[in-house]
Amino acid sequence: MESKTDSLLSRIRKGESMTLSEQLHLTFLLSVPAIMAQLSSIVMQYIDASMVGSLGASAAASIGLVSTTTWLFSGTCTAAATGFSVQVAHAIGAGDMVKARSVLRQALVAISLFGIVWGSVGVAISRFLPVWLGGDPSICRDSSLYFCIYSAFLPVFQLYVLASGMLRCSGNMRIPSMLSVLMCLLDVVFNFFLIFPTREVNIFGLTCRMPGAGWGVEGAALGTGLAELVVAVLMLWFLCKRSRDLKLNHEKGSFRPTIPTLKKAIRIGLPMGIEHTVICGAQIMTTVIVAPLGIFSIAANSFAITAESLCYMPGYGIGDAATTLVGQSYGAGRKDLTRRFAYITVLMGMAVMTLMGIIMYIGAPVIIGSMTPDAEVRALGTEALRIEAFAEPMFAAAIVAYGVFVGMGNTIIPCLMNFFSIWAVRLTLAASLAPSMGLNGVWLAMCIELCFRGIIFLTRLRWVFR
């Protein structure tokens, strides 16, 4: 039986009219599971941070030191996959399912090779990375091992991202959402046994001996990698065997990437990859600015970033929905519908993240306190979160508008906008304010920059659809 989501999406492809109520309903149907998928991803990071944080500030700082570099690598993987998934969205919007499946087959080969190469680079530099980032010698070993294990699982993560993106662009938000939640649960289980040593655990008044590997930071990386492996296999199986539009059961076709498909993937994905590299490079520079402030500031910065993610991930979920809706409308040649979905998703994102910002401001002490028992780290992290809460509405505008532009295959100018905003505004202010204001100065710079970024993205959106 055709679901309500599939029914409404098919109206885009068939050129049928849609009322405002139907557009809002479809946006809601796609946004909710996308938000859940994004939140589950951040909850997984939150769980890692909480479990490792219980081991002390040094263990937390060892992960925090390389966290921006892991975002660089994962963001580049996402950009590579998006270069293909947007092509699939356009093909499905145009009703050309044969082309959509052809792009999928080529993507499986090209993206697998990219993940292997990129993961090998990560393993190769893992030994030197903490030193390059100016980390304290006491945490460099754990930081290096954490990043090495993370990089070894990067090909698996790359395939997970590809399969998830393909399903979302086809309009299936439910399966990626469900499997993301499963990955979060598996991460808890694996971490529980890999991070902590064998110990006595009290469960409902009964004391039992719980086995554990006691690998600490390394156990957190391995637990996350294993969770990604299980879910990547399940996601690929569903995509290739069960997806209504993209399954590859019996249809013949070549898996060899063609020049036209690769060119389109590079045109869409390369600016995104460069942008992720530049932005994460700026975040790494921010880490370098924070590192001299001490272990407590490094740990607080890491925890605050993870906690803030709980606030802005709904924006990324709505941004994913915007990419699907705008991508299929654009592929179907529905300019009027493309414009309306762009504005609906941006306004929805701003409303949701305004509410999340209020919650983050009020609940900051509890959120940070749940990740670390250290009083100084809690105080620093709470102050940082409360500064950042004021930027959330405009951050939402930038996130969702970017998703709109990705859906249209228009990535070059938005990437340049992100580059200018973070390098010219955030880093300049952070370097100026950190010596006198400490960690608060770094986060104040971030708040100002995100507000500026939201303004220029809204201006760009209005210009594109004028």
What kind and span of H or E run contains 201? strand 197-203
How much is the pLDDT for 289?
Answer: 84
- Note the Cα 439 to chain centre separation in Å: 24
* Residue 45 clears pLDDT 70, i.e. is over it: no
**Residue 34 exposed, middle or buried by CB count within 10 Å (0-12, 13-18, 19+):** buried
At 126, is the secondary structure helix, strand, or coil? Answer: coil
If we measure between CA atoms, which residue out of 121, 118, 123, 120 comes closest to residue 162? 118
Max Cα-Cα span within the chain: 67
**Residue 155 exposed, middle or buried by CB count within 10 Å (0-12, 13-18, 19+):** buried
Residue 438 is encoded by which pair of tokens? Answer: 């400490």
How much is the pLDDT for 180?
Answer: 86
If we measure between CA atoms, which residue out of 13, 50, 122 comes closest to residue 377? 50
The alpha carbon dihedral of 409, 411, 413, 417 has a sign of positive
* Residue 100 clears pLDDT 50, i.e. is over it: yes
How much is the pLDDT for 144?
Answer: 93
* Residue 111 clears pLDDT 50, i.e. is over it: yes
Which residue in the block uniquely carries the two structure tokens 């983050």?
360
Q: How does pLDDT run across 250-290, given as a tens digit for each residue? A: 677 889 999 999 999 998 888 888 877 777 777 778 777 88
d(CA 230, CA 324): 26
* Residue 452 clears pLDDT 90, i.e. is over it: yes
Q: Which residues of 448-464 are buried (b: 16+ CB within 10 A; e: fewer)?
A: bbbbbbbebbbebbeeb
Residues 26 and 334: beta-carbon distance below 8 Å: no
Mean pLDDT across 55-64:
76
Residue 127 phi, psi (nearest 5): -65, -30
Residues 90 and 12: beta-carbon distance below 8 Å: no
How much is the pLDDT for 31?
Answer: 82
Averaged pLDDT score across all residues of the chain: 86
β-bridge mates for residue 207, sequence order: 202
Comparing 87 with 409, which gets the higher pLDDT? 87
d(CA 22, CA 7): 11
What length is written for the chain? 466
At 312, is the secondary structure helix, strand, or coil? Answer: helix
* Residue 174 clears pLDDT 90, i.e. is over it: no
Phi-psi region of 333 (alpha: psi -120 to 50; beta: other; left: phi over 0): left
Residue 373 is encoded by which pair of tokens? Answer: 């028992």
pTM confidence score: 0.77
- Note the Cα 52 to chain centre separation in Å: 21
β-bridge mates for residue 209, sequence order: 200
Centre a 10 Å sphere on the Cβ of residue 349 and count the other Cβ atoms it contains: 30
Helices (H), 2-96: 4-14, 20-53, 57-93
d(CA 60, CA 231): 26
Q: Comparing 262-271, 274-283, 358-367, 444-453, which segment has the lowest mean pLDDT? A: 274-283
* Residue 246 clears pLDDT 70, i.e. is over it: yes
* Residue 2 clears pLDDT 60, i.e. is over it: no
Q: What Rg do the C-alpha atoms of the chain give, in angstroms?
A: 22
How much is the pLDDT for 42?
Answer: 67
d(CA 237, CA 235): 5
Helices (H), 96-211: 97-125, 129-132, 137-152, 154-169, 174-194
Mean pLDDT across 384-409:
91
What kind and span of H or E run contains 200? strand 197-203
Most confident of 28-42, 307-321, 331-345: 331-345
pLDDT band, residue 46 (cuts 50/70/90): low
d(CA 329, CA 408): 9
Mean pLDDT across 205-224:
83
Which residue in the block uniquely carries the two structure tokens 């939150």?
46
Q: Comparing 36-40, 226-230, 457-461, which segment has the lowest mean pLDDT? A: 36-40
Residues 103 and 315: beta-carbon distance below 8 Å: no
Which residue in the block uniquely carries the two structure tokens 């070549």?
254
d(CA 44, CA 88): 29
How much is the pLDDT for 1?
Answer: 45
Mean pLDDT across 123-128:
94
pLDDT band, residue 140 (cuts 50/70/90): confident
* Residue 397 clears pLDDT 90, i.e. is over it: yes
Residues 208 and 201: beta-carbon distance below 8 Å: yes
Q: Could you give the C-alpha distances from 291 to 38, 68, 146, 284, in angstroms and in order?
A: 28, 13, 18, 10
Q: Comparing 92-106, 191-205, 449-463, which segment has the lowest mean pLDDT? A: 191-205
Comparing 465 with 282, which gets the higher pLDDT? 465
* Residue 433 clears pLDDT 80, i.e. is over it: yes
- Note the Cα 294 to chain centre separation in Å: 27
If we measure between CA atoms, which residue out of 420, 451, 439 comes closest to residue 279? 420
pLDDT band, residue 455 (cuts 50/70/90): very high
The alpha carbon dihedral of 201, 306, 123, 86 has a sign of positive
